[in-house]
């Protein structure tokens, strides 16, 4: 079992949220909460791709710069980016200037357009890969899973880039496809409540295109 630590309010939280000042709010308000908005899903997958080989703090502190550079991760707009945009982004010191990853975001935006058109939304597609809780390992004791391998394989088959199973697993953690908060973490219970509410909506056949 992953240990917790006492937060500033005296409540137990995942130990990793004390590693940097920016992490506490991210842990309490974002990480693991279900995401059903297509633009946010695209953003999170792109940022996880940029994070590969780097620390998450590096990406988190630059997140607003990434949003400005990539048109708020509106994949319909990013899909229209061309070589001049690649050069502009390579000159932007506010983001991670990695040509392969920059070009992958633009390429994946085009793939996202096709996928959203085929499925009705990105959310419909991604949430299909939500694993059964019974198939999950102990919280934060894995970097990949059968579900992340399956999703990664299918995304690659569809033409997406920089979507290996480790990147996809981090995406699944961040977007609430799994609740990987430590047992005993105060936020784990809040995430479960949100996931249960979403499950009720899905059971009633409401579209997964939330805000």
Binding site for Zn(2+), by residue number, is: 14, 27, 181, 185
**CA distances in angstroms from 138 to 13, 80, 141, 195, 204, listed in the order given:** 16, 42, 6, 18, 30
Catalytic residue flag (residue 119): no
**From 31, 56, 127, 129, active-site residue:** 56
| Residue 6, helix vs strand vs coil | strand
**From 16, 26, 30, 183, active-site residue:** 26
Catalytic residue flag (residue 16): no
Beta carbons within 10 angstroms of residue 94's beta carbon = 12
Catalytic residue flag (residue 160): no
78 neighbors 45 (Cβ within 8 angstroms): no
| Residue 14, helix vs strand vs coil | strand
Provide the CA 171 distance to its chain's centre, in angstroms: 3
**From 30, 31, 43, 48, active-site residue:** 48
The binding site comprises: 14, 27, 181, 185
Annotated active-site positions, please?
Answer: 26, 48, 56
């Amino acid at each position: 079992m992953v240990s917790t630590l006492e937060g500033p309010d005296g409540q137990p939280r995942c130990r990793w949220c004390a590693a940097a000042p920016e992490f506490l709010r991210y842990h309490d308000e974002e990480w693991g909460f279900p995401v059903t908005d297509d633009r946010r899903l695209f953003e999170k997958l792109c940022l996880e791709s940029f994070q590969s080989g780097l620390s998450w703090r590096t990406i988190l502190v630059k997140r607003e710069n990434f949003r400005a550079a990539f048109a708020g991760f509106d994949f319909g707009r990013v899909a229209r980016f061309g070589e001049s945009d690649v050069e502009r982004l390579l000159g932007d010191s506010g983001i991670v200037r990695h040509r392969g990853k920059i070009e992958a975001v633009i390429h994946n935006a085009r793939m996202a357009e096709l996928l959203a058109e085929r499925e009705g939304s990105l959310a419909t597609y991604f949430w299909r890969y939500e694993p059964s809780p019974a198939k999950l390992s102990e919280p934060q004791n894995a970097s990949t899973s059968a579900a992340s391998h399956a999703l990664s394989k299918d995304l690659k088959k569809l033409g997406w880039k920089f979507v290996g199973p480790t990147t996809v697993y981090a995406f699944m953690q961040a977007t609430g496809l799994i609740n990987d908060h430590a047992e005993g973490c105060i936020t784990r219970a809040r995430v479960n409540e949100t996931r249960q509410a979403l499950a009720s909506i899905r059971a009633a056949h409401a579209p997964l295109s939330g805000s």
